Amino acid sequence: KLFFQKKKNLLHGYCGMAALLATLCVKPKYAHMDNDNYGRRITRCLECGDRILYGRTDKKFCCESCRQKHFYSTAKETRIFKRKVLAILSRNHEIFENLIREGKDSADLMELVLIGFVPWVITSYRRSGKHDEYNCFNIKYIMTRTRIYSIVKIRNLSVNLQAGMNTEDKQY
């Protein structure tokens, strides 16, 4: 009974809700806010941590430069991840191009991994009958646990690169 009374008391007021959420390991919606000595809400900047003394009560940043820094840093992680994935895909494509140039249509998976092939980074996947068909851009292959075979370059792959352009921008 004492446990439920404590929970009931925690539910009254913002501080009580924040304490309840903290006990449940859930981040409250306004984690960047705290209270001053007079019970008023004081907002802190998410980037630098300074107090925000003016503006809306749900304001998250003290100035435009802090807002830009915060969103730039979160977007930077995404850009780095994309760059790494594209580098791996380019390396895989280069390995397949070299195999096709040498006239090979199959290879041992471990040999490819030793020269830099990363098997779990692909551009598309399709289940075809009894085997799994993978693509690395315009190169199609079948992969088993130990071997990659049927490495084929797709010839008539047409991509409409002008699909996102305006009609005035298209070049004919």
Length of the chain: 172
Instruction: Answer for the pair 96, 138: CB distance below 8 angstroms, yes or no.
Output: no
Q: Give me the tens of pLDDT residue by residue for the chain, a chain 172 residues long.
A: 444 444 444 444 444 444 444 444 444 444 555 655 565 667 889 999 888 888 887 889 999 999 999 999 889 989 999 999 999 999 999 999 999 999 999 999 999 999 999 999 999 999 988 888 999 999 999 999 999 999 999 887 666 555 555 545 444 4
What is the pTM (predicted TM-score) of this model? 0.57
Supply φ then ψ for residue 38, to 5 degrees.
Answer: -100, 5
Instruction: Answer for the pair 53, 62: CB distance below 8 angstroms, yes or no.
Output: no
Instruction: Answer for the pair 124, 135: CB distance below 8 angstroms, yes or no.
Output: yes
